[in-house]
Amino acid sequence: MANIRKTFNFRNGVQVDDDDLIVRGDLVGIGTTIPTERLDVRGNTNVVGFVTSSELYVSGVSTFFNTVDVKSGTIKVGTGITIDATSGIITATKVYGDGSTLSNLPTSQWVDTDVGLGFTSIYAAGNVGVGTTDPRHSLQIGGNNDPVNFVGGIGFSSEGNIRVTGVSTFSGIGSFGANLGVGNDLVVANHSTLAAGATVSGQLDTGNINSTGVITATTYDGNLTGTPTLGTGVTVTAAGLHVSGIVTAASFVGPLTGNITGNIVGNITGDITGNVTGSLNSVGVSTIVDAEITNLNVSGVTTSPTIHSGSGGTGFAALSTGKIGVGTALPSSEIQVRKASGSLVEVVAETGESRISIGQSVGVGRSTGTLRFGNTTGGFDVINNDVGNLNMILHGGISGINTGRFGWVYGQTNAELMSLTYGGSLGLGVQSPTNTLHVVGTSTVTSNAFVGGDLTVAGSVNGTINFPAILNGTNLVNVSGISTFNNLRATKIGIQQDNPITDLDCFVGTGIFGGVGIGTTNPKSTFDVRGTSSLEKVGVGTTGLYTGLPDTGNAQIHGTRLTVWNNGITVATNDSESRIGLGTHRPQCAVDFSRAGTGAIGAAGGFMMVPLVSSTVRDNFNIAPAGGAVIYNTTTNKLQCHNGSGWQDLF
């Protein structure tokens, strides 16, 4: 309807084109017509603000271009990596790859150092343990935590000493700058070459050991150069320590540079620079400047001040102020849909009712209004669930010209069935009514009709008209003149009849009376008939009836009005010929107003008035109104109809 400001609350079924936004029940789809999740977005999503979600599932690669701030809970990458958003601990089952770019890791003892050789070396700020969580040597492989009574491992000191408590096997040339003690029995001074190898059951004290084979010792104290291998998974080179298996340590202090392949279990304090492929589980706060995430699953609460999807957030925007925009990044209302040309919002329910509720209570409660489709098959309802009015407001904005009207159109033919102008003229079958009620076509009034002014009938009035017993101040006129009856009494009266055969015989003549009483000696009016009267033809205001047409009627009133006091006019029969016509002598229905007012006075009186009563009078009628009763309520200025149980506004 033109020039009507409308507000809707979307619930259970809104669609904005097949490529934009679709709501299916409680599922919302963007870029898909068949959403399978609460919010199903197909395509790129640009979020410029907070995203609040209890869960976020990402199935592919996700890239974050700005900070991803998880206030609480954990971020999980698969089942192997957990990041605690509260404590900041990153837990992973394994870590693989180059950790050269990792730095400032408080739990790591590896420290980068540059002594001017053209490359960066690392050293351990504390002891390094392999196969032990409590090393007491600079480098300790296995063994206990007693430096004096060390057994079960190899210990390397920063002074160049190696303590080996097990079996050491040397192949190739071994050079010892000091003594070599074997089981406290063998001391090799200066240089020793063991071509076939050597087994030392005790302690081996030496300077440098050059060996191309395997050295096995319970204790090793000193520097280890070359490319030695500790077991099958640890290799020491000039560049660092390479572990192909699992490294277990109580803590790791220092920066970690290079790639990490595998799981990291434990807390990481510091920055992570690089890509993470796998599961990232955090129970604390993780701040990520940019992140590209294909699927993001969040089991807890994800808080974001703004969510933007599309270029600049113009696809979908959800702001922390509680406003949602589709097609705009800055919605000015709680829900705003904008499009350059043509927009559509759909509320679709696959089964049952589709409803939009607007009001002041949750759900479709009492203090709400509802737009409803599907309560009955193919039915659309506009409902005010409260006791207030249901108003349709035209031209509710600023004043102006060219105010429109209300129109009711049949969609199959686009024919306007009813029109209501802003001035209050109602037209049935006419688009621009000229009177307060303008009906084009046949009208049927099955109950009483009230005419507060003149009643003009352009055609015939068919059927029986019941007059009151006394007609006061009424002239009966025929075509030849005016007949006035005041008080007429006689045994027999013959008009142009010498021998009247009845009490009043004017069969072939005419008569002029000041008053006539029939059935009474004291007529109360000009023409007073008491008892039953049978009249074939009656002319009022004329001495000759119109006879040119077959439907001119046997009871005619010419040049005056018909007024009935203290009683009603009744059409006694109810057959096809029981009709009343206003403005026509050939009524097409029981009461035909179709041509009422089409004559010379049509511009001033061609309308129908229903009873004008206040709400107080309406509610205290002496006779209970039946279904179909129509009044004009002067309290609410509404046309109302009684449906058998109560009064309903007709507009």
Domain boundary among 515, 548, 568: 568
For 503-518, write each residue's pLDDT tens digit: 767 777 666 667 778 8
b/e sequence 292-322, b meaning 16+ C-beta within 10 Å: ebeebebebebebebbbbbeebbbbbbbeee
Same domain, 317 and 380: no
For 424-438, write each residue's pLDDT tens digit: 999 999 999 999 999
At 401 the three-state DSSP class reads coil
Domain boundary among 337, 362, 394: 337
Angstrom distance (rounded) from CA 236 to CA 227: 5
Angstrom distance (rounded) from CA 515 to CA 543: 16
Q: Which tokens go with 437?
A: 């009620």
pLDDT of 328 above 60: yes
Residue 579: how many CA atoms within 13 Å on its side-chain side? Answer: 25
Same domain, 544 and 476: yes
pLDDT of 291 above 70: no
Angstrom distance (rounded) from CA 571 to CA 581: 12
Environment class of 388 (CB within 10 Å of its CB; exposed 0-12, middle 13-18, buried 19+):
exposed
Same domain, 327 and 359: no
For 586-609, write each residue's pLDDT tens digit: 788 878 877 777 765 555 567 778
CA 571 centroid distance within chain: 57
In eight-state DSSP terms, residue 473 is T
Q: What percent of the chain has pLDDT over 90?
A: 14
pLDDT at 537: 81
Same domain, 531 and 620: no
pLDDT at 408: 93
pLDDT at 263: 74
Same domain, 547 and 617: no
Q: How far is CA 317 from CA 25, 53, 57, 216, 301, in A?
A: 21, 14, 19, 66, 19
pTM of the model: 0.32
pLDDT of 269 above 80: no
Question: Got the DSSP string for 579-596?
Answer: -EESS-SS-SSSEE-TTT
pLDDT at 642: 92
pLDDT of 638 above 80: yes
Q: Is residue 528 included in any domain, yes or no?
A: yes
Q: Is residue 418 included in any domain, yes or no?
A: no
Q: What angle do CA 510, 516, 522 make, to 5 degrees?
A: 160
139: closest CA among 65, 230, 216, 76?
Answer: 230
Same domain, 632 and 544: no
pLDDT of 205 above 60: no
Q: Is residue 222 included in any domain, yes or no?
A: no
Q: In DSSP terms, which residues pair with 291 in a beta bridge?
A: 63, 64
Q: Is residue 512 included in any domain, yes or no?
A: yes
For 372-420, write each residue's pLDDT tens digit: 999 999 999 999 989 899 888 999 889 889 899 999 999 999 999 999 9
Same domain, 327 and 376: no
Q: Which tokens go with 284?
A: 């604390």
Higher per-residue pLDDT: 454 or 103? 454
Q: What angle do CA 421, 427, 433 make, to 5 degrees?
A: 65
- Residue numbers of the domain that contains 558: 467-568
Contacts of 650 (CB under 8 A, 6+ apart): 630, 638, 639, 640, 641
Same domain, 562 and 474: yes
Average pLDDT, the chain: 76
Domain boundary among 512, 535, 568: 568
Q: In DSSP terms, which residues pair with 269 in a beta bridge?
A: none
> Quick check: 105 and 254 in contact, CB under 8 A?
yes
Q: For residue 486, what is the enclosing H or E element?
A: none
Higher per-residue pLDDT: 399 or 210? 399
Q: For residue 605, what is the enclosing H or E element?
A: helix 602-605
> Out of 134-143, 177-186, 279-288, 467-476, which region has the weakest mean confidence (pLDDT)?
177-186
How many domains does one find in the chain?
4
Higher per-residue pLDDT: 389 or 492? 389
Q: What is the mean pLDDT of residues 518-527?
A: 82
Q: How far is CA 431 from CA 111, 395, 554, 561, 603, in A?
A: 90, 19, 37, 32, 16
Same domain, 308 and 359: no
Same domain, 56 and 21: yes
pLDDT at 413: 93
**Greatest alpha-carbon span in the chain:** 184
pLDDT at 560: 84
Q: How far is CA 373 from CA 173, 296, 406, 453, 573, in A?
A: 95, 37, 22, 43, 44
105: closest CA among 89, 121, 129, 94?
Answer: 89
pLDDT of 186 above 80: no
Q: Is residue 506 included in any domain, yes or no?
A: yes
Q: What is the mean pLDDT of residues 85-96?
A: 80
Q: Is residue 282 included in any domain, yes or no?
A: no
Q: What angle do CA 471, 474, 477 make, to 5 degrees?
A: 125
Q: Is residue 564 included in any domain, yes or no?
A: yes
pLDDT at 207: 57
Higher per-residue pLDDT: 272 or 161? 161
End-to-end CA distance of the chain: 14
For 555-586, write each residue's pLDDT tens digit: 788 888 878 888 877 777 777 777 887 777 77
For 17-64, write each residue's pLDDT tens digit: 555 677 777 888 888 888 888 778 887 777 777 777 766 667 767 776
Q: Is residue 261 included in any domain, yes or no?
A: no
In eight-state DSSP terms, residue 526 is S
